[in-house]
Amino acid sequence: MGKKTKIQYVSSTWNPWVGCTKISPGCTHCYASTQDTSWGNDRWGPGKPREFTSDAYWRKPLAWQAEAKRTGKPHSVFCASLADVFDAEAPEGGLARVWNLIEACPDLTWLLLTKRPERITASLPPNWGKKGWKHVRLGATVETQKMADLRIPELLNVPGTDVLRYLSMEPLLEEIDIEYPKTLYPDGPPGCCNGFECGCYGRPTEPPLWWGGFDKSIGWIIVGAESGEGARPMNEDWVRRLRDQASSAKIPFFYKQRLDPTGEKVSLPELDGRTWAEFPDSRGV
C-alpha cells in the first residue's frame, strides 16, 4: 500500500481511507475485504466505518510529486485499492481532500477506479471544467455483460474531454461484448442517421462501438482473471474477443493475469504468442 505495488500497470498504490460495500458480482471475493478482516477490522458493508489513513501516509504522494517534477520520470498512482473514492459512505470531507491532493500533484498520473461511475459527475471538483484534469484517469470495473451495459454509459457521460477513461475487466466472469450496449439495443446495433439527431454527427457507426470515436471515449482496456481462494474460472476466448474488439478500435489492451491449471496466478501471460501490455502513453504510464 505504497510506492511499491504488485499492480503491473502503475508505479504506486495509495489509499485515502479503508472500507467499502460489496455491490456487484466482482465484489464476491474482494481481496481488500478479506485482507481487512485478516487485520482484525470490520470496515466492509453498509454503515460500517470507512477510516482515514494517517496524515503521514497522506503526505507520501507529495513526495512522489516532488520526485517526478525533479527527475521528469513518469509516476502513476492507483488511488484506493482498499476502498472506492466514489463510495456514498466515504468519510465526510474525504473526497474533497482527495481532489485537493490530486490537484497539488499534477506531475503524477492518477488512476481512479470505481464500481460506482454513476456517482462520478456529481462528485467532481468545482474547477473540473469541460476539459477535466489531464493527469486523472477515470475507470469503471466491468466484470459481466450487465455491468458493461450499466457502467460504460455512465463513465462516458462524465465531462472532461482531456480525461482518459478506462475499463478494468477484472475479474472477468463471463464473455462480454463491448461493441454496443445490449440492454439498450437487444435486437442489434441501431441504424445511423444522416444528421445530428442520433449523436453520430455524420460519422459512420457500423457497428456503433461504445467509445464511438468522439471526445468521450474509452482509451484503455485492462483484463484479468480472478485469483485467490475460490477464484472463479476465466476462459481465454473471452479475453481474445475483447482483445480483438480493442485492437479493431485501436484501443490499448493490457492482459494482466490468468490462472494456470494448478490455480496459480500467471502475471502478464501470453495470448496467441505474445504478451499484451499496451499503455495509452508510450512512456508506460
Which pLDDT value is given to residue 183?
61
CB 216 within 8 A of CB 153: no
What are 18's three cell numbers? 479503508
Q: Which three cell numbers stand for residue 2?
A: 505504497
CA distance 263 to 115: 26
10 Å CB burial of residue 55 (0-12, 13-18, 19+) is exposed
**Cα four-point dihedral sign 117, 27, 22, 93:** negative
The answer, as to whether pTM is greater than 0.75, is yes
**What is the mean predicted confidence (pLDDT) over 243-255?**
90
Euclidean distance between CA atoms 139 and 123, whole angstroms: 14
Out of 63-72, 112-121, 126-135, 146-155, which region has the weakest mean confidence (pLDDT)? 146-155
CA nearest neighbour of 76 among 43, 107, 98, 99: 107
Do residues 15 and 82 lie in contact, with contact meaning Cβ atoms separated by under 8 Å? yes
CA atoms within 13 A on the CB side of 194: 0
What would the mean pLDDT of 191-214 be, rounded to a whole number? 47
What are the grid coordinates assigned to 160, written together? 472532461
Radius of gyration of the chain (CA): 19
Helix (H, G, I), strand (E, B) or coil at 268: coil
pLDDT of residue 170: 97
Is residue 84 within 8 A of residue 20, CB to CB? The reply is yes
The pLDDT score that the predictor gives to residue 49 is: 93
What pLDDT does residue 277 have?
97
In DSSP terms, 12 is beta-bridged to: 77
Residues 103-123 as b or e (16 or more Cβ within 10 Å = b): eebebbbbbbbbbbbbbbeeb
pLDDT (0 to 100) of residue 199: 52
Mean pLDDT of the 222-228 span:
95
Helix, strand, coil content of the chain in percent (nearest 5): 25, 20, 55
Tell me the domain boundaries of the chain. Answer: 1-114, 121-250+259-285
The torsion angles phi and psi of 107, rounded to 5 degrees, stand at: -90, 0
Residue 21 pLDDT: 96
- Give the pLDDT confidence score for residue 201 in this predicted structure: 45
More confident residue, 182 or 29: 29
Reduced to 3 states (helix: H, G, I; strand: E, B; else coil), residue 166 is: strand
DSSP assignment, residue 54? Answer: P
Strand 76-79 with 51-52, pairing: unpaired
Angle at 161 between CA 60 and CA 254, to 5 degrees: 60
- Per the CB < 8 A criterion, the answer to whether 276 and 8 are in contact is no
Interatomic CA distance for residues 74 and 68, integer angstroms: 6
Q: Please say if the pLDDT value at position 220 is more than 50.
A: yes
List the beta bridge partners of residue 255.
223
Structure confidence at residue 4 (pLDDT): 64
Torsion sign over Cα 221, 80, 145, 6 = positive
ω into residue 280 within 30 of 0, thus cis?
no
Pick from 39-48, 155-164, 192-201, 213-222: least confident: 192-201
